[in-house]
Amino acid sequence: MLKRPSTRRRSTAPEIQLNLVPMLDALVTMISFLMFTMAFLSFTMIESPIPMVSSQENEAKLKEPPLQLTLTIKDSEVTLWSPFDHIQPVSIPNKPEGGIDLLKMHEALVGIKQKFPHENQIAFVPKGGTTYDDIVQILDSVRNFDKTDPPVAVLNEKTGVSEQAKQLFGDVIFANLLGGEE
Amino acid sequence: MASRSIRQRRGRHKIHKDFELQLTSMMDILVIILVFLLKSYSASTNSFATVRGIQLPISKTTEMTPDSLLLIVTPEAITFENQRIVEFVQTADSVGGTSPRYEFKAEDLDENGMRIAKLYDALNRARDKAELLRQKSPARDANGQPLPWDGIMAIQADKRVRYDTLRKIMYTAGAAQFKIFRLLAMRQPQS
């Protein structure tokens, strides 16, 4: 049986120690800078252009009147309608406990999108008492697809290939901004 | 009691010659913090800030928010580019933002109560300033003309603000030739 090797070491080389202090200084400076300059709040936005009044000449140039899907918020219901009667008006009553039934409204919008896949614009007519929170929730429901929604195919005119629509009705215009009903 | 000599006091706090502070673990922590900050830093591209007493709505939208002129509707007033422009009617309940009313004083409104006069002036000043900067800027379009003013305004409002207040603000901005509104909200955390 072999003898166990000795654990004793005889070394004359000096022990190397890395000087971490300058690196530590650099790290502390970088962390301070990053914490000072970074934004901890994560904002998002919903963009909406101001409505424009279209001239009669422009309207005459259109071969076919547009869908002009309109979402009107009323005291007890939400109505989806088209001023040119492209769709039957859909009324979605508020939930029994109060508040807009966003789920049913979204389902109705997906149904309309399937019929008019190229349509991206919606005119939004809130009432004066609608809160900003409600407006954001409604616009979220109007603009974005849910994961459970059926895919809507849109033909890309440039490539000639059908693609999945990325947004439901992404272009929202506050229709009663410059006047009109609330 | 006799006081100790200076030498005795110094000797008590004397650090041993071989003592070395172990910095490795601290380095590990700092590197982890640095990596986390660098990862988060890439997602923050705007310089928007919020103010105390304002509760922003939460949105599922994931669009980034480029910098633009910022209007904030606080329970006390409307501020535009960090300047207080119009103050709302204050009541005992509305002070401190417990139940804000967001009502304008009658003298602050014109055009049948739709336009906020002081805000209109402030927005016009901001537009003039932006147009002047565009004219002085070396950036030009294909015809050598200064780039047109984009007319974008970001609106940050408390989630309890009613549409009739927002409508007056947007109407006033429209009168001052602002064309696009960006309604700001907090991004919903990804599940």
The full set of domains in chain A, from first to last, is 67-174 (3.30.420)
- Whose tokens are 């004083």? That residue is B105
Q: Residue B180: pLDDT above 70?
A: yes
**String of DSSP letters for chain A:** -PPPPP------SPPP----HHHHHHHHHHHHHHHHHS--S-EEEEEEEPP-PPPHHHHHH-SS-----EEEE-SSEEEEE-TT-SS--EEEEPPTTSS--HHHHHHHHHHHHHHSTT--EEEEE--TT-BHHHHHHHHHHHH---TTSPP-EEE-TTT--EEE-S-SS-EEEETTTTSS--
Question: Tell me: the pLDDT tens digits for B12-33?
Answer: 556 666 677 788 888 899 999 9
Q: Alpha-carbon distance B150 to B67, whole Å?
A: 12
pLDDT of residue B38: 86
ipTM: 0.76
If one compares A124 and B92, the residue with the highest pLDDT of the two is: A124
Contact A31 B30 (CB under 8 A): yes
Between CA B41 and CA B33 the distance in angstroms is: 12
Neighbours of A107 (CB within 10 A): 15
Q: Are A115 and A109 in contact (CB under 8 A)?
A: no
Report the residue from B41, B44, B187 with minimal CB separation from A44. B187
The pLDDT mean for chain B works out to 83
Chain A residue numbers with beta carbons less than 8 Å from the beta carbon of B187 are 42-44
pLDDT tens by residue, B129-153? 998 998 888 888 888 888 888 899 9
Other CB atoms within a 10 A radius of the CB of residue A59 amount to: 10
What pLDDT sits at residue B119? 94
Q: Which residue from A43, A126, A99, A70 is spatially nearest to B162, judged by alpha carbons?
A: A126
Mean pLDDT of B162-188: 91
Cβ-nearest to A131 among B33, B59, B159: B159
**pLDDT (0 to 100) of residue B29:** 92
Residue B157: in which H helix or E strand, if any?
strand B152-157
In this prediction, residues B111-122 reach a mean pLDDT of: 92
pTM of the model: 0.77
| pLDDT on residue A136 | 94
Across the interface, of B27, B59, B160, the residue whose CB is closest to A24 is B27
Nearest CA in chain B to A39: B44
Give 10-residue mean pLDDT values along chain A (182 residues). Answer: 71 75 91 82 85 69 79 92 88 90 94 91 92 93 90 84 88 83 56
Helix (H, G, I), strand (E, B) or coil at B6: helix
Q: How many CB pairs under 8 A join A and B?
A: 152
Of the two residues B10 and A109, the one the predictor is more confident about is A109
CB contact under 8 A, A177 and B26: no
| b/e code A60-71 from CB counts within 10 Å (16+ = b) | eeeeeeebbbbb
Say which of B49, B167, B181 has its CB closest to residue A48.
B181
Separation CA B79–CA A133 (nearest Å): 20
Strand partners, B84: B79
Q: Is A74 exposed, middle or buried (0-12, 13-18, 19+ CB in 10 A)?
A: middle
Of residues B127 and B39, more confidently modeled = B127
> A36 phi and psi, to 5 degrees?
-75, -35
Write the CB contacts of A96 (distance below 8 Å, at least 6 apart in sequence). none
What mean pLDDT do residues B90-101 have? Answer: 68
What backbone phi and psi angles, to 5 degrees, belong to A21? Answer: -65, -45
Contacts of B183 in chain A (CB under 8 A): 45-48, 132, 135-136, 139
Q: What amino acid occupies position B130?
A: A
